[in-house]
Amino acid sequence: MTVAEWSPLVDITEDDKEYLIKADLPEVKKEDVKLTVQDDVMTISGERKYEKEEKRKKYHRVERAYGSFMRSFTLPEDADGSKVSAEYREGVLKVHLPKSEKVKPKSIEVKVA
């Protein structure tokens, strides 16, 4: 099997409450994924372990990469890294990064006297 450096693909979206990072991690076990936030940098790291090559099988093409990966992202100024949460399901890691309360736009009701 091929053991090579690889990097998971990600989508990053934003709404008025949070940033959402979706990382494709097919065939990576939950226990092999690590998420850290330090000094306004979020890092997703882990490993896709290679399968044992079976002697009885004839391989025609081996393109998928295995091994360790790491992706780092600088957090936006309005993100609250202390409240990050994550879920992992069906090979997709979803990281929820809330926006800071102090930065969110605030509506103030104007009362008519």
1 falls within a domain: no
3 falls within a domain: no
89 falls within a domain: yes
What integer pLDDT is reported at residue 2 of this predicted model?
Answer: 47
Scan for tokens 């399901």, then name that residue.
89
Q: Which residues contact 48 (CB under 8 A, 6 or more apart)?
A: 6, 25, 26, 27, 28, 32, 65, 66, 67, 69
> How many domains is the chain built from?
1
30 falls within a domain: yes
The CATH number linked to 29 is 2.60.40.790
β strands within 15-109, DSSP E:
18-24, 33-38, 41-48, 67-74, 85-89, 92-98
In this structure, are residues 95 and 21 in contact, taking their beta carbons and an 8 Å threshold? yes
pLDDT per residue as tens digits for the range 18-48: 999 999 999 999 999 999 999 999 999 999 9
**Structural domain of 81:** 10-98
109 falls within a domain: no
5 falls within a domain: no
What integer pLDDT is reported at residue 112 of this predicted model?
Answer: 84
pLDDT per residue as tens digits for the range 62-104: 788 889 999 999 999 999 999 999 999 999 999 999 999 775 5
